[in-house]
Amino acid sequence: MKHLGDVTKIDGRAAPVVDVIIGGSPCQDLSVAGKREGLQGERSGLFMEQIRIIKEMRQQSEICADELIRPRYFVWENVPGAFSSSGGEDFRVVLEEICRIKDKNAVVPRPAGEGKWGGSG
C-alpha cells in the first residue's frame, strides 16, 4: 500500500488507480464517548475528504475513457455512535454522500417511524 500523505492534500485525479477505497474517518466526533460534534467536527468531517477524492478519481477515469471506472468500491468503517450522532442525521448524510458519488442528485431519507437506524439483523 502506498501512503499518499495528508488526506486533505490528495488530488484524486493524480492518485493511482485502485479498485477499492477503504477508510474510516476519525471517530472521536461521532463516538458517544466524544464531544458529539458529528460530521461537522474537524476529525470526523474528514469523511468528506474521502468522498471528494473518490469523486475526483472517478472523474479522471471518465476523462481518460477507461473501460472500467475506478474505484468501484468504497468501505467506510466507524463507531456505533455514527448511527445516533446528530440525532441520526450524520449517518443519513454518510449514506447520501456515498450515493452521490454516482448520482449527484441522490436523496437518502431517514428510516420510517422514529427515524432511527436499525441493525442489519
pLDDT band at 74 (very low <50, low <70, confident <90, very high): very high
Read off the pLDDT of residues 90-105 as tens digits, 9 standing for 90 and up: 999 999 999 999 999 9
% of residues, the chain, pLDDT over 90? 42
Claim: this prediction has a pTM higher than 0.95 = no
- 31-60 per-position pLDDT tens digit: 888 788 888 888 888 899 999 999 999 988
Say which residue the cell 475506478 belongs to: 70
What positions carry a catalytic annotation?
27
Q: State phi, psi for 107 to the nearest 5 degrees.
A: -130, 130
For position 117, what pLDDT does the model report? 86
Give residues with Cβ within 8 angstroms of 44, minimum separation 6. 25, 26, 27, 28, 29, 30, 37, 38, 78, 85, 90
So what's the pLDDT on residue 121? Answer: 66
